[in-house]
Structure 1
Amino acid sequence: MTVAQICLLIACALPIVSAGLAKSRGFGKRRRDGGFDNHQPREWLAKQQGWQARANAAQANGWEALPVFLAGLFVAHQHQAAQATVDALAMGFIAARLAFIALYLADQASLRSLAWTAGVACCAALFFVR
């Protein structure tokens, strides 16, 4: 398994981690006491505020970013790009996504946008590596 493939697995897990963070304050509480409502999870998440709402938004953005990353890896593989370059760009994407999530949770909007841009740049570069 290549580093890029491991990064793909991590990229698939990051939205799930963000979802867990968004729901975490509701775990262990009864529904009637404001605990997580697995019967209507989207409604429950829509009512969250603060860092929980931002974690849920990070989850949604993670799912949105995943196809672009996957497509970039696919194209790089089809071009038989140098694996070291592909691996480096994949690690850059994961680093940018981790920073994005952390900055989203911390409500650092401008820095978060910068991290998002770095992640998109890594994905775009995957389309052009040889």
Structure 2
Amino acid sequence: MNALFGLIPDTAAAAIWAMVVASLLPLVMAMSAKVFGGFNLKDNAHPRDFLQHTTGAAARANAAQQNSYETLPIFLVAVLVAMLFFVPQAIINKIAWLYVIIRMGYCVAYITNLAMFRSILWVLSMICSLMLFYLAIRISA
């Protein structure tokens, strides 16, 4: 049986692709921040200075980028630990892609300034990572 109604195969490649997409999400947010902020080629000399002085959606996209980088290592390690301890691949895939979908929603909520919804999505994304650790612990015990 395939994960998520047949959309995601039950192979390790699906979890690896989820890790790739999650790893690219901060870059997408960085590009969004630059687009929303009116980034010009001359700003490339000091892009961090440019992003520090943005406001509105650009500043929020930059903050989403930073938070995505902060939570990414936990997710990546959680997926690898779950795979290492032989958590069923279909379960890993479902949780990994759920994390990615939630993080995408988180970024949209951040950019559109939906603070409470964003916080809820952040907690749910962390639960995904923690659940992978928990399952690995249960299997190894």
- TM-score of the aligned structures, taking structure 2 as reference length: 0.84
Pairing 1:56-75 to 2, within 5 Å after superposition: 56-75=62-81
Question: After superposition, what is the alpha-carbon deviation per residue over 1:42-83, rounded to whole angstroms, capped at 9, x for unaligned?
Answer: 111000000000000000011111100011011101111100
TM-superposed deviation, 1:30: 6.2
Structure 1: 5+ residue runs without aligned partners?
Answer: 32-36
Match of 1:45 in 2: 51
Match of 1:11 in 2: 22
C-alpha distance in structure 2 between counterparts of 1:92 and 1:122, whole Å: 7
Asked if 1:110 is matched to 2:121, the reply is no
- TM-score of the aligned structures, taking structure 1 as reference length: 0.91
C-alpha distance in structure 2 between counterparts of 1:59 and 1:124, whole Å: 21
Question: After superposition, what is the alpha-carbon deviation per residue over 1:71-117, rounded to whole angstroms, capped at 9, x for unaligned?
Answer: 10111011111000000000110011001000001100000000011
Q: Report how many aligned residue pairs link the two structures.
A: 124
Q: Percent identity?
A: 35
